[in-house]
Chain A
């Protein structure tokens, strides 16, 4: 097992043990990050915790090279759902969804050098609409 794989397994195990089941990472052991704006997630949260990086890379070429839009594991869709209700972002502090957990796990991703870390305005409107928010 690679070092990264080992880290992933350990983290996943920790998070699973600590998992509240209520859909929030918040617990004594894990990082407390913003809850999603709507749901459900594109995969079971436990699977996502462990494998989201692989899903993201797997589907990426479908859009970039083969022109398929609306892929299941779209990065812009993760951002639309997981952006903070307060400022619409997935980065910014250790409460923010992607940054919070990556800081906790000592992972650095470069995706947001290029990709917008802010939800689309339409996604913000949808999240604010009653009934769509979790």
Chain B
């Protein structure tokens, strides 16, 4: 590290310490600021999304059974996806089975768009079609997508699909068509109306309760309480994409 960098670091370190000063035992200044208006107030009709909300998902892999596809099937149904798994078929959420070869410990987990705070797909998009909404949901604006697929290359999670063939039987709420890249939208058409993504609903309805969805910025939301209480991981945290999707038990 050169001396200038070192001095800078020290300066920022001190600045951060001051900004995060304790104003009461256990209550940090920045938390206080957030608690003031962070508590999820439903958006009024016609009010745009804002960055007070950060939608996130917590997946408890200890409750996710190998072979269970309830979330995957629900996603396909909700979004009008064919549900086939050829290399060229769209998959917005898929099950991945992992095994630690040393210990033999196996985990099964659903992998979907991680809704990164620093999404590489957005960085590389030449038309601005890949974008992150103020509330943290990463989407493709299919009206500006030219189908170049740079974002698919950039995504570390293999979360995006390209639509290779003509589509039929779309849901009126989920348009999708040939020539564009698509991925998990966190069921934005439902979330905008106060709903919950279909995978989360299906997992809960089947009694697994492996997925929690909610506002990571609202300290009183279930997801915030859970990530505060237990150790959770972001996939490829080394890339510092700061994912909105977190995993427990990995």
Contact = CB atoms under 8 A, between A and B. Distances in A.
A66 B48 contact: yes
Interface string A40-76: 0000000000000000000011101111111000001
A64 B180 CA distance: 15
Chain B contact residues, majority secondary structure: loop
A60 B175 CA distance: 13
Contact of B175 (A65, A68, A116, A118): A116
A108 interface: no
Contacts of A62: 48
A61 B143 CA distance: 9
B193 A69 contact: yes
A113 B45 contact: no
B141 A114 contact: no
Interface string B87-105: 0000000000000000000
B47 A64 contact: no
Contacts, number: 57
Contact of B177 (A69, A80, A114, A120): A114
Contacts of A67: 43, 48-49, 133-135, 188, 192
Q: How large is the interface on A (under 10, 10 to 19, 20 to 34, 35 or more residues)?
A: 20 to 34
Interface of A: 60-62, 64-70, 76, 79-80, 113-116, 118-120
B171 A116 contact: yes
B170 A115 contact: yes
B172 A76 contact: yes
A64 B177 contact: no
B192 A65 contact: no
Interface of B: 43, 45-49, 131, 133-135, 139, 141-143, 166-167, 170-173, 175-178, 180, 188-189, 192-193
> Which of A66, A67, A115 has the most chain B CB atoms inside 10 A of its CB?
A67
A66 B45 CA distance: 12
Contacts of A66: 48-49, 133-134
Contacts of A80: 172
B190 to A, nearest CB: 10
Given A64-B143, A65-B133, A69-B192, A76 B46 contact: no
B188 A65 contact: no
A118 B47 contact: no
Given A65-B131, A66-B48, A76-B172, A114 B167 contact: yes
19 contacts: A65-B131, A65-B133, A65-B141, A66-B133, A67-B48, A67-B49, A69-B193, A70-B46, A76-B172, A79-B172, A113-B177, A113-B178, A114-B142, A114-B170, A114-B175, A114-B176, A114-B180, A116-B170, A120-B172
